[in-house]
Amino acid sequence: MTRTLHVIIDSESDRSDLEDTLVALDAGEDVDPEPSTLSVEDLETFGRLFRPTNLELLEAIATHDPSSIRELARVVGRHPPEVTQNVTELADYGLVELEQDGRAKRPVVWYDEIDVDIPIGRHSPDTARA
């Protein structure tokens, strides 16, 4: 079963759906296979979260299952403090979970794919052209 994270850009950002999924995962419950949704407040934030270095981290976490952020830094060939900062930001948005493993924090991604909707214009029935 593929688990999908759906990302939208919405100025009225609401992460409650994503937070419910994360709580269920933490409790060891099965999660709904329907996509969970992460609302990102604007295109600038989206660009920061999904810049190439962060995508490389997400892929490395999913592929290598590192036991700590330090190990993740070794896998991607970057300095641990920089990787820690990036992973913390990803965790703040729910893109990565940090599981306490002794003194280390183990980064985990709980989804298999990311589906993104990027609006290029706002259209309402009043502004749509016939």
Class of domain 4-117: mainly alpha
pTM: 0.75
Predicted pLDDT at 28: 67
What are the DSSP calls for 25-76, one per residue?
HHTTPPPPSSPEEEEES-HHHHHHHTSHHHHHHHHHHHHH--SSHHHHHHHH
CB 29 within 8 A of CB 44: no
Predicted pLDDT at 37: 86
Residue 97 to residue 108: CA distance in whole angstroms? 5
Q: Does residue 125 register a pLDDT over 50?
A: no
pLDDT, average across residues 84-105: 93
Choice between 125 and 33, residue whose per-residue pLDDT is larger: 33
Q: Which residues contact 56 (CB under 8 A, 6 or more apart)?
A: 76
Residue 116 to residue 111: CA distance in whole angstroms? 13
pLDDT, average across residues 118-123: 71
pLDDT, average across residues 47-68: 97
Predicted pLDDT at 129: 43
Residue 7 parent element (H or E):
strand 4-9
Could you tell me the residue ranges of all domains in the chain?
Answer: 4-117
pLDDT, average across residues 56-75: 97
